[in-house]
Chain A
Amino acid sequence: MRHRSPALVAFVVKELRHILRDRQTLLILLLLPLAQVVLFGFALRTDVDDVRIAFVDPAPDAATLALRARFAGTGRFHVVAVSSTTAPLEPLFRRGAADVALVFEPGFASRLADGTPARLLLVADVADPNTGSLVQAYAQAVIAGYEAELGAAGRGVRIELRTRMRYNPTLESVNLFVPGLIALVLTLVSALMTAISLSREKERGTLEILLVSPLRPWQIIVGKVLPYLLLAFANAVTALLAAWLVFRVPFRGSVALLLGASVLYALVGLALGVLIAARTTSERAAMLGAMAGTMLPNALLSGMIFPIASLPGWLQAITVVVPARWFIVVSRGVMLQGVGLHRLWPELAVLGVMLVVLMAGAVRSFKARLA
């Protein structure tokens, strides 16, 4: 269509007014995403700042006390129990009162002086493998530091590891999550609300009235989704502001690129929402379909929280069709890595293809209902 028909404009205006009038939903749609970003930014952390350690030291000597003091001095570990046998360990762990335990053998200091390996048993609660591994890593770092200190005094060989943490020097997990949260927020508004609103009209029969009007199917779809697109955009902006102001998530790349990508992603979500509404027969099914088909995959299979590389092969294959997966590469690329269009165009292209395919499917579904 080359010109904007007045009917379409009037239609869009009517839809906008319709949404603005429903204050309750509007408030929810604007505030909920913001609340989510703030809440999850604070609460979703895989960093562990406070590790509870128990010591089993049957024969304390200068070395064991020195190492124990080292742990206590890190600020990350705090000692919850010291005993001379391993008996209390099992109940401590079962009750969740300790995360890790260090078991010394008698004669620790003398072995160190001899140069024969002094043995330590590091017992960690790895029910949660992720946190367990991390806690183990922290504990080993403390032990290694002690060992290095001893070694430096002696004449052992030392290979120093100089580490640089790129893109996220503070290792804050919020920097990992927030770029993905933006995606979740956009999905909520675009896919979910569109699916609900459209299927509600379908159920009420008002959609049929529209379908027999002079408006073409694509115009109806555009008119219906445009207000939600604006809403999604507003949400994206507020979410990004929250990320930047509240969580100090870096913004190393081009904001314009990120906003553009957000719009593209929101459009994909909208197209998906329209398709779901066109294909389901009731509002209830539409909601459930939207939930299952958009929110859950976008939250779990997009790499937002859980790395895609950790997924089994078959699930990794499925993530290819999850739009959020591609968007998150872009959002992290722009925010954390500071890369530009020349490196991110493949991901954007994938989103573009998805948009075209979904829109075509949606338009065809609506056309079919007239036949």
Chain B
Amino acid sequence: MRTLRFLLRKEFLQIVRDHVIMGMIFVMPIVQLLVLANAVTFEVTQARLYVVDLDHSPASRGLVDRLTASGRFAVAGASPSRARADAAMLDRDVDAILALPAGFERDLVRRRHAAVQLVLDAQDGAAAAVTQSYAGQVLTRYAHELGATLHPTMVTVGARSEAPPVRGQPAIDVRRRGWYNPELDYRAYMVPGILVVLVTMIGSLLTAMNIVREKEAGTLDQLNVTPLPRATFIAAKLIPLWVFALVDLALGLTFAHVALGVPVRGSLLLVFGAAAIYLVAALGIGLWISTVAETQQQAMFVTFSLLMVYLLMSGLFTPVRGMPQWAQWLTVVNPVAQFVQLMRAVLLKGAGVADVARQLAILAASGAVVLALAVRQYRKRAA
């Protein structure tokens, strides 16, 4: 215990005196949150629409008006030329082409049924699906509107008619409620994940580099020759960064809440408790990497590559629900994934210990396993 005290003092001194690490610990959270929180968003903004209206009727104009009124579409071009519309899409100037055929209004009035064509730039398939859904809703509403007023004797939409109104058709009024993020603020969703990245970077990357730096400098050999127990050395290496990672989490969370307006609906005790447990796994990974890397450059490279895999497979940027089955199963043994789920549930949904019990259990287990493996891997004497 006494030797641990000496070593901890040395570790803290070294970390505090290292400008690069201090920069990473205090500046990185702010930068990451500012940039990442803003950059990582799939928000579907307005779709730019090119209108090819071959009907030029009140009905067709009415449809276009309702599309723009919905706020989801903005007319970026219009002409009777299909070719120009296609060219605009090839030039990526428009996201969708709406083609209204000649006779659109006539079909609506006479036969109460007409068709329009919507061509979507579907490179971003999800956005296209959402845009299609919006268009469909506008069309359905318009059709209902017309259905209550149109009569076969009308010449044009909106004209007066003495004929009795047609009996209302079946209608379903769908009211939508979005829970936990009604403003659809992508930042609120991303920030818990970004905080996880932050904490992981410090836990794994800095740990690995810190130990490998001693390897490179030769001081590691020096320590291995002393009677210093392996456990004490490892504890001294892991504890300071464990502390700093938690400090960083506090810093990041405060900034996110105060400056970016990210909600904190659940228990902070739960957040930091889970982080403390998660860090054991993250630090363990850093320790393990330090036993296989010979230079700091290797350590950095291996850590980044490994972390990139963990991060991308964790549901941080893309939903776990979207992954193939085998990838979804892997998230069970991916501590990053579990911690991300936990953070989102607690911060955004106000989840309690019972709700995230599964994640906590996996985090504890991962931490124990990873740390045990890493400690076993670390030998004072090379075989």
Contact = CB atoms under 8 A, between A and B. Distances in A.
Interface of A: 28, 32, 36, 39-40, 42-51, 91, 93-96, 99, 112-113, 115-134, 136-138, 140-141, 143-144, 146-148, 150-151, 154-173, 175-176, 196, 200, 283-285, 287-288, 291, 300-301, 305-307, 309-312, 315, 329, 332, 336-337, 339, 343
Contacts of B174: 119-122, 140, 143
B172 A120 contact: yes
Given A130-B43, A130-B126, A310-B42, 12 more contacts: A50-B321, A93-B180, A93-B349, A112-B172, A113-B170, A121-B174, A124-B178, A131-B321, A159-B116, A163-B135, A171-B128, A300-B39
B172 A310 contact: no
Looking at chain B, what size class is its interface with the partner chain? 35 or more
Contacts of B89: 166
Contacts of A196: 297
A171 B126 contact: yes
B172 A133 contact: no
A163 B171 contact: no
3 smallest A-B Cβ distances: which pairs? A156-B169, A171-B125, A115-B168
A285 B20 contact: yes
Nearest to A179: B123
Nearest to B166: A155
A122 B137 contact: no
A231 to B, nearest CB: 15
B65 to A, nearest CB: 14
Interface string B147-190: 10010000000000000001111111111111111101110110
Contact of A164 (B91, B118, B188): B118
A122 B181 CA distance: 15
B350 A124 contact: no
B31 to A, nearest CB: 9
A343 B88 CA distance: 11
B308 to A, nearest CB: 8
B323 interface: yes
B226 interface: no
12 contacts: A43-B312, A113-B170, A122-B175, A130-B42, A132-B178, A159-B113, A161-B139, A167-B122, A167-B123, A173-B318, A173-B322, A306-B42
A160 to B, nearest CB: 4
A99 B39 contact: no
B350 A94 contact: yes
B171 A147 contact: yes
A86 to B, nearest CB: 11
B170 A151 contact: yes
Contacts of A164: 117-120
Interface string B14-57: 00000010000000000000011011111111000000000000
B40 A300 contact: yes
A39 B125 CA distance: 20
B355 interface: yes
B95 to A, nearest CB: 9
A310 B45 contact: yes
A126 B301 contact: no
Most chain A CB inside 10 Å of its own CB: which residue of B178, B185, B351: B178
B296 interface: yes
Interface in B185-233: 185-186, 188-189, 209
B320 to A, nearest CB: 9
A160 B140 CA distance: 9
A173 B132 CA distance: 16
A116 B180 CA distance: 31
Contacts of B143: 156-159
B273 interface: no
Contact of A47 (B90, B92, B125, B173): B125
B125 A147 contact: no
Contact of B122 (A150, A158, A166, A329): A166
A163 B120 contact: yes
Contacts of B209: 284
